[in-house]
Amino acid sequence: MRNNNAELGKMLRQQRLYAELTLCQLGASTGVSSSHLARIEKGERFPSAKILRKIAMPLGFEESELFTLAGYLSNKQFLDIEDPKDLQKKGLDTFVANTLAREPVQVQRAVIGILGILESLAKDAKDI
């Protein structure tokens, strides 16, 4: 199931701002018009797989990660997790795992996706 257009658009916008890119800069580097990118960020359009492929790298995403967040790919780690021990095996804090296990699948997907992004950013910061 795809994420809500507005949720995905908001996440893409936040990532673009974090990467310190304007819509024009992102459009120029990807070949996607800045007006189309703006509509995606506003939740007025849902990006095709082709568009996601083009914007993934400039925004700092792995293609598969962005496809999963958009709902084009499923990921076994995003299945309903009823046992917090499954989350703890992924390296999550016990409190976080217990809390997340009680949330709906959509919330689990969003939180795990955000944690993946944060982990990636932390690795990048260490390389600086």
Burial of 96 (0-12, 13-18, 19+ CB in 10 A): middle
Write down the mean pLDDT value for the chain.
79
Give the pLDDT confidence of 7-47 residue by residue, as tens digits: 889 889 999 998 899 999 999 999 999 999 999 999 999 99
Q: Which of 61, 71, 56, 75 has its CA nearest to residue 114?
A: 61
- For helices 94-101 and 105-126, the axis angle rounded to 10 degrees is 150
The pLDDT assigned to 29 comes to: 95
**What number is the average pLDDT over the span 55-82?**
72
**Residues in the chain, how many?**
128
- Judge whether residue 65 has pLDDT over 70: yes
**Per-residue model confidence as pLDDT tens digits over 101-119:** 667 666 777 777 787 788 7
Give the start-to-end residue ranges of the domains of the chain. Answer: 1-61, 75-128
1-61 belongs to which CATH class?
A: mainly alpha
